[in-house]
Structure 1
Amino acid sequence: MNWTRKTTISVAAALVVLVVAVVVFVRRDSSGNENGGEASPTNPNSATPSTEPSPAENPWTGSWAVAVQNGGRAFEQQTVRQIIRTSIGGETVRVKLSNEFGSDPLTVSAVYLAHHLQANTVDASTNAHVTFSGNDSVTIEAGQTMVSDPVQFSMPAGGDVAVTAYVPERIGSVTQHAFANRHNYVAAGNQATKATLTGAQTFDNYAFLAGVDVQNPASEGAVVMLGASITDGFDSTFAENRRWPDQLARRLLAANRNVGVLNAGISGNMLLKDGAGQSQVNRFDRDVLAQTGVKWVVISDAAINDLGDSNPPSGDQLVQGLQQLIQRGHDAGIKVFCATLTPYKGTDYWSEQGEAGRDAVNDFIKADGSGCDAVIDLDTATHDQSDPQRYNSRYNTGDNLHPNDAGMEAIANAVDLDLFQ
């Protein structure tokens, strides 16, 4: 309500106070507290709500992300061009750079977004300069993550985008995501604005790039896939975006849904024990709860690696770990979807004890009272009906642990799109 006329009549002033008091009371009562849900955006020249939020009011949603790890490579006076496959699109974008596991400050400059064409070539006419607090260069202290200023850039939904940056000063080991399942590129000198890098070499991880967010007024939120190598896309076809989260993102786009799909899988990761990256229990806050616009999480395949450890936990211990994640997700106000563990009989670390642990996890997930907001039955989607402890041969890469492209599709198809409401 916009009061534009002043009056000195005391009765009118009293009425204004009364009306304002009633509005405040109603807002407190409907939201549960004085600072409850955000008020609808209003047009200052009208008493009716505006149907079009301003750019500043549009929600930020994660379109792409990775789970970060230690042990990355060194860079010095080099241009780094990294290719991502987006999920949700938008016209305003920001970039997240991470030095979470660095021991020294990381300085980058000349950061650009562009549409990717092929190999290390971009459409230079789409170059959008990314700044940090208005500056071309940013230094990120060890243990920190930096989010860029918003930049106007037409980011496609389900398309390939390049993030290019120049690293002017030596850093011995960057924060990384160890498995990119595609080529990224590095070249000498500052070539950040060039369409094609001269003298480029490939590397197959992600270096210091942690996420890309968009503003999209139609956004429904983001879902995070928390898992291990199956979620990370290990053994899916190289550079073809056949991971099951990628295939789920395509299903959502085909259904005209605006849901960001964020892959937080780490190959070799465990639910309870640090090793290939921090355990799910230890990285949940950063890799799930801190993701932009997160509304849902799918807890997937990491416990299979716990079962293959030299000193595997019991089924009860795994269930306790899952219960902790479910509770932490609910405490943060997000829905938690639990995926059953796929078969792994035939691997060199399968055992009857491990199979009992898998059964305990899957029985817990399917049981009433688990706390899971939904069950995604990846076991049923992938196992051999005549021998449920083994993969369906149509989906087996041959190692009896990782699904092939068809198996990735079967997993993606097991997710009910109506869960994302």
Structure 2
Amino acid sequence: MIRASVGGDAVRIKLSNEYTREPLTVSTVHLARHVGAGAVDPSTNGRVTFGGNDSVTVEAGGTVVSDPIAFRLPAGGDLAVSAYVPRRIGSVTQHGSANRDNYAAPGNQSTKDSLSGVRSFYNYSFLAGVDVRNPAAEGAVVALGASITDGYDSTWNENRGWPDLLARRLAGGGRPVGVLNAGISGNSLLNDGVGPSGLNRLDRDGLTPAGVRWVIVADLGLNDLGGADAGTGDRLIAGLRQLIERSHSARVKVVCTTLPPYGGSESFSSVGEAGRQAFNEFVRSGGSGCDAAVDFDAAVRDPTAPARWDARYDQGDHLHPNNAGMEALTTAIGLDQLA
């Protein structure tokens, strides 16, 4: 189940088998408007093909992109992608936390209005992206981050992460800009671990998606500072410089954000806090090379204890925002910074 950030008249999907060792075959893939709880509007059901075929096999380590399918989708519309997997597979490439319900059921039910024998699950299995064609679109912005960007612990099924809220602000302002959420919970800017590092996945996730014009570099560095390399302020700055240089070479603008506070969390240390402060001062400086800077830190910190979240915005673990905190983060982004 995908919420479209921008509307359009055609859709294509990307399937990934990048992290498995056996081929993945999917067949009878369909798109439809999702109307809730796994049910779709049957009048919108459309057949997806791959090189004109109903079935496609994605080799181990590979990806495929479907043919475009004529499909009218409004901005903010919910889309159901249904696919039949005819053969059992041992593992699946997935995005671990969709922060919403997806659904599985036995047999080929890809054309059904609703599923029988259904169970819900919370990841995105082998669906790596949805492109929407809109000739009036200004382009796309990629939110490159970790768990805060991923929407961790915002209200389930309500699309309340800050990239979702940014998409609504843009649409409400009459700007057809796609917002691509490339947040991975647990991800880091410098170090591979929970997925490739931000630097190592920049080309795939940040620079090559269709129509990309901007990358917002968000909370990645918090996981570097909270890990074994806590004293990495200088390395984070060097990593951000590299990211900016590579993005500019690809003609993509970079919007840098300061790192939100994490005082009181399990990963906090005084050494890491010094690194965060150094990184944030660099982002705020005029010589960072960022095309724009957003002060996430100033938007959500406690004015009396600036190493900690303002209690109004703290989810409770002193690391992640609640819904109000997500609102505060997206409000800190000036829409004129995407220009």
- Give the TM-score range, shorter chain: over 0.9
- Spell out the pairing of 1:249-328 with structure 2 (5 A cutoff): 249-328=167-246
Query: Alpha-carbon deviations, 1:145-175, whole Å to 9, x = none?
Result: 1111111111121121100000011221111
Q: Aligned partners of 1:349, 1:377: CA distance in 2, in Å? A: 22
SS in 1 for 2:190: coil
Task: Tell whether the 8 Å contact from 2:160 to 2:323 is kept in structure 1 after alignment.
Answer: yes
Deviation at 1:319, TM superposition (A): 0.8
Q: Aligned partners of 2:53, 2:249: CA distance in 1, in Å? A: 37
- 1:418 maps to which residue? 336
SS in 2 for 1:102: coil
Q: Aligned partners of 2:232, 2:139: CA distance in 1, in Å? A: 35
Equivalent residue in structure 1 for 2:155, among 228, 237, 260: 237
AA aligned opposite 2:335:
L
Q: Aligned partners of 1:393, 1:174: CA distance in 2, in Å? A: 39
- 1:162 maps to which residue? 80
- Spell out the pairing of 1:136-147 with structure 2 (5 A cutoff): 136-147=54-65
SS in 2 for 1:326: helix
Matched, 1:95 2:13: yes
Equivalent residue in structure 1 for 2:130, among 194, 212, 217: 212
Deviation at 1:385, TM superposition (A): 1.2
Q: Aligned partners of 2:50, 2:20: CA distance in 1, in Å? A: 19
Deviation at 1:336, TM superposition (A): 0.4
- Structure 1: 4+ residue segments shifted above 4 A: none
Query: Alpha-carbon deviations, 1:275-318, whole Å to 9, x = none?
Result: 11111011111111111110000000011011111343521111
TM-score, normalisation: structure 1: 0.80
Query: Alpha-carbon deviations, 1:179-236, whole Å to 9, x = none?
Result: 0001101111001000011101111000000111111111100000000000000011
- Spell out the pairing of 1:13-412 with structure 2 (5 A cutoff): 83-412=1-330
Task: Tell whether the 8 Å contact from 2:231 to 2:271 is kept in structure 1 after alignment.
Answer: no
Q: Aligned partners of 2:221, 2:14: CA distance in 1, in Å? A: 29
Higher radius of gyration, 1 or 2: 1
Task: Tell whether the 8 Å contact from 2:262 to 2:318 is kept in structure 1 after alignment.
Answer: yes
Query: Alpha-carbon deviations, 1:4-37, whole Å to 9, x = none?
Result: xxxxxxxxxxxxxxxxxxxxxxxxxxxxxxxxxx
Task: Tell whether the 8 Å contact from 2:18 to 2:61 is kept in structure 1 after alignment.
Answer: yes
- 1:73 maps to which residue? none
TM-score, normalisation: structure 2: 0.99
Q: Aligned partners of 1:151, 1:311: CA distance in 2, in Å? A: 47
SS in 2 for 1:125: helix
- Cα distance 1:313–1:170, how it changes in 2: closer, same or farther (>3 A)? farther
SS in 1 for 2:84: strand
AA aligned opposite 1:288:
G
AA aligned opposite 1:373:
D
Q: Aligned partners of 2:19, 2:189: CA distance in 1, in Å? A: 20
164-173 or 294-303, which moves further after superposition?
164-173
254-263 or 97-106, which moves further after superposition?
97-106
Q: Aligned partners of 1:368, 1:115: CA distance in 2, in Å? A: 46
SS in 2 for 1:305: helix
Query: Alpha-carbon deviations, 1:79-137, whole Å to 9, x = none?
Result: xxxx0111001011111111111211111001100000111111111100000000000
Q: Aligned partners of 2:226, 2:160: CA distance in 1, in Å? A: 26
AA aligned opposite 1:212:
V
AA aligned opposite 1:244:
W
Task: Tell whether the 8 Å contact from 2:224 to 2:232 is kept in structure 1 after alignment.
Answer: no
Task: Tell whether the 8 Å contact from 2:39 to 2:115 is kept in structure 1 after alignment.
Answer: yes
Q: Aligned partners of 1:335, 1:327: CA distance in 2, in Å? A: 10
SS in 1 for 2:324: helix
SS in 2 for 1:364: helix
Q: Aligned partners of 1:271, 1:368: CA distance in 2, in Å? A: 22
Deviation at 1:349, TM superposition (A): 2.1
AA aligned opposite 1:220:
E
Gap runs ≥5 in structure 2: none
Gap runs ≥5 in structure 1: 1-82
Q: Aligned partners of 1:322, 1:304: CA distance in 2, in Å? A: 13
